Amino acid sequence: MADSQSPATVSDFSAPMTGGHDFALGGRPAKYTVLYFYPKDNTPGCTTESIAFRELHPRFLAAGTEIYGVSRDSMRSHDSFKGKLGLPFELISDPDEAVCLRFNVMKLKNMYGKQVRGVERSTFVIDAGGKLVKEWRGVKVPQHAEEVLEFVQSLP
């Protein structure tokens, strides 16, 4: 993946998601696709982030943008998390880390004094042609969804 200053093309990929369909990047009907990667369903930060994207979802749609959450959780966990929070968008299940590795979001993190391998909270905006338009890495949850919305609203 290129750094946030240089445009890169994200090659097409598919992955299972909630809603009974597979996600495929190619041929998305929206002008823009937001992929937000988060560590784990039903954890405080991930719940807060998902709720923030849920609350802003109508405004993302108005800006021609679809949202998808991505984590290593199982489809069963995603279905439960999505239902519990009433998320209006789909969640992509990546238990084998293929999508996470494609976007280079697997990192060593310190947790309770131990190093663990996990998902670095990150968000990517991709246009309909597959061009990576913007990326955020090491995301802090407060106001992040608003920042992403403001960015996509500024796009042509």
Catalytic residues: 46
Q: Are 135 and 123 in contact (CB under 8 A)?
A: yes
Q: Which uninterrupted H or E stretch holds 93?
A: strand 90-93
- Collapsing DSSP to helix, strand or coil, 84 comes out as helix
* Longest CA span, the chain: 45
CA distances (Å), origin 32, targets 13, 19, 44: 16, 20, 28
